[in-house]
A and B are shown apart, each in its own frame.
Chain A
Amino acid sequence: QSVLTQPPSASGTPGQRVTISCSGSSSNIGSNTVNWYQQLPGTAPKLLIYSNNQRPSGVPDRFSGSKSGTSASLAISGLQSEDEADYYCAAWDDSLWVFGGGTKLTVL
């Protein structure tokens, strides 16, 4: 069981906006920033959002992140078929990194 809790699945149609939640506690999300990773099928994870809401160079502005208290969210607007992937949240927790269990996003 993962320290950070994510819904196992999410879905949307092309053009739609979807959000993925990540719930933690005071020792991780509550006191540290949150990162989000995208893992396309058969590939290594890729950094999507860091420090709660910052996008690395090259990541489309369709992707956005937010944090409030001990929870965080990833929002994807203008959903595209190539967004179909697994998404993971991560946060520092005292002396180690913890990940969410992952959310499989399906584009219908």
Chain B
Amino acid sequence: EVQLVESGGGLVHPGRSLRLSCAASGFTFADCAMHWVRQAPGKGLEWVSGISWNSGSIGYADSVRGRFTISRDNAKNSLYLQMNSLRAEDTALYYCAKDMAIAVAGTIDYWGQGTLVTVSS
């Protein structure tokens, strides 16, 4: 059974940093691209970032490029999102998501339950 468990969310002041983690199990992590997708309270889904199986290809949404960094550790079956210079508009539930393919342009097929990030003074 595919399991994706996010952690690291919380309340943070504007301008500060936060690092999210995602522990994956139930599938061959190294064979899949991975993503972060967020959902602001009461709003729709927004893709944040994706990383290919070997970290060779990485993509970001325009809204986070230059502030967020995605990374993965295949030996630890883990995905990360380093979030710097956080803004109020980054407040959202952040989902870790698995891709069917090795490339970022594959298909997101499984989602974790999410970790809530609240940016507020």
Contact = CB atoms under 8 A, between A and B. Distances in A.
Interface of A: 2, 32-33, 35, 37, 44-47, 50-51, 56, 86, 88, 90, 92, 95-102
Contacts of B62: 96
B26 interface: no
A2 B40 CA distance: 13
Contact of B100 (A45, A50, A95): A50
B27 interface: no
Given A44-B113, A44-B114, A50-B100, A99 B45 contact: yes
- The interface centre, meaning the residue of A35, A44, A51, A92 with most chain B CB atoms within 10 A of its CB, is A44
A15 B62 CA distance: 42
Contacts of A46: 111
Chain A interface, DSSP helix/strand/loop, else mixed: strand
A97 to B, nearest CB: 4
Interface string B101-112: 000010111111
Interface residues of B, number: 22
16 contacts: A35-B107, A37-B45, A44-B113, A45-B95, A50-B100, A50-B107, A50-B109, A56-B109, A90-B45, A90-B108, A96-B47, A96-B50, A96-B60, A96-B62, A97-B108, A102-B45
Interface of B: 35, 37, 44-47, 50, 59-62, 95, 100, 105, 107-114
B111 to A, nearest CB: 4
Contact of B50 (A88, A97, A100): A97
B45 A47 contact: no
Contacts of A44: 95, 111-114
A45 B96 CA distance: 11
A4 B103 CA distance: 22
A51 B111 contact: no
Nearest to B103: A92
Contacts of A47: 107-110
- Return the 10 tightest CB-CB contacts between A and B, nearest first: A97-B47, A44-B111, A102-B44, A99-B45, A92-B105, A50-B107, A47-B109, A101-B44, A45-B111, A95-B59
